[in-house]
Every structure is written in C-alpha cells, then in structure tokens.
C-alpha cells in the first residue's frame, strides 16, 4: 500500500471523529487485504461507518 492511500481511508470519517494513527493504519491494512478487524472497543466505528469495505467484529 502506498503511503498516501491510508489517508484516504480515514479522511471521510472526519471532521468530528478523532482517529488514532495506529487505528488508521490497521484499518487501511485490513481494507487493503480484505480482512476484518477483531476488537473489543469502539475505536474503529467511525472508520467503519465511512467505509463499507471495513468489517469490524466486536468480541
């Protein structure tokens, strides 16, 4: 994945949401490889709402 691609994944979730850089990188990697994110928190919800390609599984 090129460096600027991950920023496109996060940009639509702004402006009201604050996204951690590490969460953005993980989300972009998951989208790029077609993988879900398995998590216990809500940090990925703003990104998932903006990008239907991101599948978040809460445990």
Digit-coded pLDDT (tens) for 23-56 = 999 999 999 999 999 999 999 999 999 889 999 9
Cβ neighbors of 26 (< 8 A, separation 6 or more) are 37
Is cis: bond before 31, omega within 30 of 0? no
How far apart are alpha carbons 14 and 34 in whole angstroms?
Answer: 22
The residues pairing with 37 across neighbouring beta strands, listed in sequence order, are 56
Q: Does domain 5-58 have CATH number 3.40.50.1010?
A: yes
- pLDDT: is 52 or 4 the higher one? 52
């Amino acid at each position: 994945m090129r460096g600027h691609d991950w920023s496109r994944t996060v940009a639509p979730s702004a402006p009201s949401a604050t996204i951690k850089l590490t969460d953005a990188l993980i989300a972009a990697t998951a989208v790029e490889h077609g993988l879900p994110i398995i998590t216990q928190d809500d940090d990925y919800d703003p990104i998932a709402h903006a990008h239907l390609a991101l599948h978040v599984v809460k445990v």
